[in-house]
Structure 1
């Protein structure tokens, strides 16, 4: 049992030299395998959040929801801050536990119960990778005239290759990209400062159904949800850090990277949204930026898409292993990447891209309750060797987290506000409240799990 506890598979001998391709899957990271520096967390999450999705979310705040730049910026800062804080706290536990994020999810959910959130994350991450591939191809096509299918394969293969190499290569790539993206987007930002009339508002485009309050709440929710999309992968990129790394130090570096990158792109998007709606990368060139600067923006967006996409594939491949698929991690990454490229090709060639993106946002509603449960688990759950043993205990099939998750998700259904898929009765009756789905689901799930986890501790304590 001791051998099995160390890594989850029985292997306890670490490699003598760093591996070119990471062989570890969802096993515990042993003491002799620890590596990395805290600042690597900042560069990774900065690169992952300097993305077109953040730029688009910011543009929506002004161009579609009609907020002025001040209130749009406040909503972006608030939403990005909340999402980044949750991501940071979860990542902070990575070095102490030494396990991937979805392995830690077995604590509150149980070995079998955890299959549901693992499957949900697999679908979400693989789907977002497909969207990113489509976006990446659109970016490339704005620069070079190539067939969509060729772009899908080329862009997808490049991203999957990074994910196949694994943890260390991902951190190295993100470190390089963080510098490149910083320089390129600084150029675009400086131009925007002189191009945009910050006193202009676009109230005529505002959604009258929402009103200013509903628009503010919706933009806040969108920005928070965008950051939370990485939450189920938080510890995947901190688990190799030295075990004595203080959680607060890890969290601080993760928060800084995510918050600075996401807020910067969001506010930049809000400023550009005062000039034009940004629906695709090509919009940055057509009438918004000069040709030369538009090319710089295209290159920056292509690289930023790669930065976030390799995280989707790597963590989605780990989710596959958590679901019990008996393959090596790198094989899983190849398989997941292939599925993502196929989905991207289908979505991009059938005018399905926007609908697919809306579906993924809807699918992401599971994250709010799950994140809340995981945050509560860090406070009330077991620690140390007891926790590590629990994460690989197949006899504990179901945990109270599963019930709390289902109840939280069900309680949030009336608040769902996705016009293309479903609008709940509360959202219909009170559109000015915005989309409260994730917030309501998180609060309910946290309360239910706190009660159920307390009862489980009392029962197991009485059995000892």
Structure 2
């Protein structure tokens, strides 16, 4: 049964809330250009998290040039969200529906409920956490200093604005994200201009690393950075309104470059920042140390930038997570689903505000994120390439037992096996402060979670889909 609608109920404009969720976008309602995706992906990636993660690379013991190489290598992974984004306009629906082709009708419900919600909740909480800590620090400097209610209050205000944008949806995102991206570029370049004079360009690690210890730090840093692009399995949702005729190469380039350029530039600035603040800066917190380096007038502007970035990233996340709720099978319209996502993300953020330091929360959660996101991204990319960027939107909504994506009783053995095995191996190779898998321990705490998890998941999925277990998808 088709889920397409052509009435004004599903109009995609910036002036009214978008009610279309996973329903098919008819060709007559497609619009936009691939290059629009550049700014949509740039806005969420002008992030204070880039400064934090870049500084973490130096804290791990890397030299500047080593940190820059790790950042560049991780940014190459931005091509993957670009590849899977092509499935959005090809199918005309959300990525959480497209993944029925990978996991089966029932298997996809489990996948979307866990992966869609887990990734959504982590990123909602991480970026709200950033704005909460920085907003609270700014208010402390002007005399408003309650360690509990100030960050909680900042979280609630930012959460409300974010969900409001997510309710209006794709049309508003398309309209305002280019403006947000340009504003954030100016703010972050201003901040960079005051960081650079304090940079120690002759910086050398006090305890230079070599051998296994060096590769351990490089691999851990790479895993933290890789979790960013690997988590954007929602990229098809943003691209699904594009005309079916849009060239895949243009979608891949606009999505990939939009995420990679600001990530590379400002994560590199974060590494430079670490040489300026020294060990004492890590003790007081990177955000506080950064504020101390800036003139008084720029501090509030940076906080505004952090809030704008938070809204950009989390409005997109809440928007796509609401469609995940629909794809699970809950009888919810998109707007109520968006509100539910916002409540869950706000609750998790408040918990982290009261129980974690910002740096610890970012590093641990982004490392653990790859256990889910690395194999899931690998499977999605393989499926897109196998199908040569072509999906049948109507077939994805065929829920009959004889439908093309019924597979084995509604479950895709290839997809689920690749996801579970890939996730298990990712966890076994992961190296964090609270968990080091046996493979990581055996290699001297070298974190091979991303390459091993992705390679195993990709090869296993490709191989199993070539057997009788995957033949249903080719009907």
TM-score normalized by the length of structure 1: 0.90
- Distance change >3 Å, CA 386–CA 150, structure 1 → 2: closer
Could you tell me how far 1:386 is from its partner in structure 2? 4.5
Could you tell me how far 1:315 is from its partner in structure 2? 1.5
Question: Is the deviation greater in 173-182 or in 93-102?
Answer: 93-102
- Distance change >3 Å, CA 88–CA 17, structure 1 → 2: closer
- Residue of structure 2 equivalent to 1:50: 46
For residues 309-328 of structure 1, the aligned pairs below 5 Å read: 309-328=314-333
- Distance change >3 Å, CA 385–CA 339, structure 1 → 2: closer
State the Cα RMSD in Å. 2.5
1:31 pairs with 2:42:
no
CA deviation vs aligned residue, 1:397-450 (integer Å, no higher than 9, x gap)? 111211111121223332121222x211121122353x2112211111111111
- Residue of structure 2 equivalent to 1:65: 60
| Alpha-carbon distance in 2 for matches of 1:283, 1:115 | 44
Question: Please, which of 400, 421, 442 is the counterpart of residue 429 of structure 1?
Answer: 442
| Alpha-carbon distance in 2 for matches of 1:312, 1:127 | 10
Question: Is the deviation greater in 444-453 or in 140-149?
Answer: 140-149
Q: Unpaired segments of 5 or more residues in structure 1?
A: none
1:85 pairs with 2:79:
yes
Question: Please, which of 160, 165, 170 is the counterpart of residue 167 of structure 1?
Answer: 170
1:191 pairs with 2:194:
yes
- Distance change >3 Å, CA 194–CA 452, structure 1 → 2: same
TM-score normalized by the length of structure 2: 0.88
1:238 pairs with 2:239:
yes
1:67–1:203 Cα contact (<8 Å) kept: no
Question: Is the deviation greater in 187-196 or in 69-78?
Answer: 187-196
Question: Please, which of 112, 130, 137 is the counterpart of residue 118 of structure 1?
Answer: 112
For residues 397-436 of structure 1, the aligned pairs below 5 Å read: 397-399=410-412, 400-420=414-434, 422-431=435-444, 433=446, 435-436=447-448
| Alpha-carbon distance in 2 for matches of 1:220, 1:363 | 13
CA deviation vs aligned residue, 1:52-78 (integer Å, no higher than 9, x gap)? 22221111111x112121111111011
| Alpha-carbon distance in 2 for matches of 1:385, 1:308 | 27
Could you tell me how far 1:207 is from its partner in structure 2? 7.5
2:166–2:338 Cα contact (<8 Å) kept: yes
| Alpha-carbon distance in 2 for matches of 1:139, 1:125 | 22
| Alpha-carbon distance in 1 for matches of 2:20, 2:177 | 20
- Distance change >3 Å, CA 353–CA 284, structure 1 → 2: closer
- Residue of structure 1 equivalent to 2:219: 217
CA deviation vs aligned residue, 1:48-103 (integer Å, no higher than 9, x gap)? 111122221111111x1121211111110110122x11111111332222121121
Question: Please, which of 300, 308, 311 is the counterpart of residue 303 of structure 1?
Answer: 308
1:43–1:178 Cα contact (<8 Å) kept: yes
Question: Please, which of 373, 376, 383 is the counterpart of residue 367 of structure 1?
Answer: 373
- Partner of 2:411, secondary structure, is coil
Matched positions, count: 450
Could you tell me how far 1:389 is from its partner in structure 2? 0.2
Q: Unpaired segments of 5 or more residues in structure 2?
A: none
